Structure 1
Amino acid sequence: MSVRNYIPIDVDDLPEQFDYEIDDVDYIFEIKYNEQGDFFTAGIALDDGTWLVRDWKIILNQPLFFNIMDSRLPTTDLTPMDESGQEKKISITNFGDTVFLYEDTVDADSDPSEQIPIDSDEIGDD
């Protein structure tokens, strides 16, 4: 089970555009798949439709929009990853299955085994 929130992506319904709130700001996300190159791209816009980034290539374990300096972008890193560490790249067969676009909010100094997954039924009772 994941210890991070992730943005649900439906690879069977691409291109996809959807609203998503992060850092208390509403954004529009766009996810596309390039069949010829076998890669995905992401775009992000403000809720008024102003595009901040379009067609950013999504690369495993690399935060989206990492080198774009725009104060309107989310401060929380959005990172595609396989938490098990087994996948080497994002593909049409693993994105949304073993690879997810996570809000990378886990403290690097914390022990992930001490955190309760967001979709856990555990509420601290025995």
Structure 2
Amino acid sequence: MSKRVYIEIDKEDLPEIFEIELAGKNVYLKFDFNTVGSFYTVDLFDNNMDPIIIGEKLSYGRKLWNGLNDPRIPNVDIMPFDESLKEKTITPDNLGVTVFLYLMTLEADGEYL
């Protein structure tokens, strides 16, 4: 059982778009698969469906929107990650099986949940 909350992606029904509350903001996330580069992407839209970030590549162990300073981006760390630490990449075979898009919230002691 997972120790972290994660965002479910239906990789069999891409592109997939849905509304979600992140850090108190209602936003839309759109997930897709780039067949040419063989990787997953996510688009971030505000609650009016105005684009904020388009085509962010999901990279294993890398926080989404890392280093971008835009007040419209929710202040939350989201990262593709495998809690068992066996995976090192994101593939169609492991996404949603062992690799999930986790909300990496911190406990009071500074450790990730």
**TM-score scaled by length of structure 1:** 0.83
1:111–1:44: structure 2 CA closer, same or farther, 3 Å change rule? Answer: closer
Structure with more relative contact order (C-alpha pairs < 8 Å, separation 6 or more): 1
CA deviation profile, 1:59-115 (whole Å, cap 9, x unmatched):
001000102110111111011100111101001111111101111104374485xxx
Counting matched residue pairs gives: 112
Equivalence for 1:97: 97
Contact 1:3 1:106 in 2 (8 A): no
1:90–1:8: structure 2 CA closer, same or farther, 3 Å change rule? Answer: same
Structure 2: distance between partners of 1:30 and 1:42: 5
Output the aligned Cα RMSD: 1.5
Structure 2: distance between partners of 1:106 and 1:94: 25
Shift of 1:38: 1.5
SS at match of 1:105: coil
Structure 1: distance between partners of 2:102 and 2:2: 9
Structure 2: distance between partners of 1:66 and 1:5: 19
Equivalence for 2:20: 20
Equivalence for 1:55: 55
Equivalence for 1:72: 72
Structure 2: distance between partners of 1:81 and 1:102: 7
Contact 2:61 2:81 in 1 (8 A): yes
> What is the percent sequence identity of the aligned residues?
34
CA deviation profile, 1:9-65 (whole Å, cap 9, x unmatched):
010001111111111111100111012221001111111111110001110010001
Equivalence for 2:2: 2
Larger radius of gyration: 1
Q: Give the unaligned 5+ runs of structure 1.
A: 113-126
SS at match of 2:12: helix
Equivalence for 1:31: 31
Q: Give the unaligned 5+ runs of structure 2.
A: none
1:3–1:13: structure 2 CA closer, same or farther, 3 Å change rule? Answer: same
